[in-house]
Amino acid sequence: PGIVDSFATWIEGLIGTEAFNQLFPDEVDLSFLLGGLLDLTLSTISVIASLVVIVIIEIFLLIERRHLLNGVLEFMDTEDRPATRYILTTGIDSLGKYLRGLFISMAFIGIATTVGMWLIGIPYAIPMGIIAFFTAAIPYIGGLFALVPILIIAGVEVGPGAVLLMIGWQIIIQQIEGSIITPTVQGKAINVSPLVVMLGVTAGITLGGLVGGIIAIPIAALIGVGLRGVVIPMRRRAEAREQARRAAYLAARKAEAEASVPDPA
């Protein structure tokens, strides 16, 4: 309760007493609404902090890829080094392409959100655009973390018309991002089907929360690299060896049968 009261006081000072009373009339359960808004704010901050840490780690992996590769190969047996080298090299390359594609997608959403708020006349366009930029890293649901506070600001500062315009603008943004940018830029980078991405994100959010949703796609890409580079070729080689063994067995049986046939002479 104390945290919610402090949060309510901060919001009232931010938007003014009159706007605060219009947004939260007496009959509204203030603790419930502000508690949910506080949870949303803390979740957004957590997402941004987690994303920054993950990006720093991934950038470090890209910079130190050569030392990382050589260090790992030193602990591998000679016969396992080619497959390990392929997985690490291809995986890190895919990770770099994914990060570049993700940054393009995040930048588009952040800039488009800022421009839309500015055109509609909604204040705090730049700060909310920055939040939209960071939350766009979460596939499918990331846009909601920025959209909810934007709609609240639009309703309080401008009016219902601005809320409807912003909802329509966000639908356009999501359609462009989901139909053009993500398939073109990120899809080609990680070479993973949309169904696998959706299942991976769902599993990631279920197991690891929002952070799990952020790292789900890179993990799915690495698993795909391992399957394409190691598991599938190993299976094909095993099938080829089995076919060769069976062919040799049949040839031997045929030779034995021919040898057992008596000579007519």
- Give the total residue count for the chain: 265
Q: Which two tokens stand for residue 18?
A: 């009159």
Portion of the chain with pLDDT greater than 70, in percent? 65
* Rounded Cα–Cα distance for residues 186 and 100 (Å): 8
Q: What is the DSSP letter of 121?
A: T
Mean pLDDT of the chain: 75
Whether the predicted pLDDT of 233 surpasses 50 = yes
Select the more confidently predicted residue: 248 or 122.
Answer: 122
* Rounded Cα–Cα distance for residues 177 and 166 (Å): 16
Whether the predicted pLDDT of 45 surpasses 60 = yes
Cβ burial, residue 132 (10 Å; 0-12/13-18/19+):
buried
pLDDT tens by residue, 89-119: 777 777 777 777 788 888 999 999 999 999 9
Q: Which residue has the tokens 């930048």?
A: 107
* Rounded Cα–Cα distance for residues 207 and 97 (Å): 25
First-to-last alpha carbon distance for the chain, in angstroms, is: 108
Cβ contacts of 9-12, under 8 Å, gap ≥ 24: 11/37
Q: Element (H or E) spanning 159, and its range? A: none
Portion of the chain with pLDDT greater than 90, in percent? 9
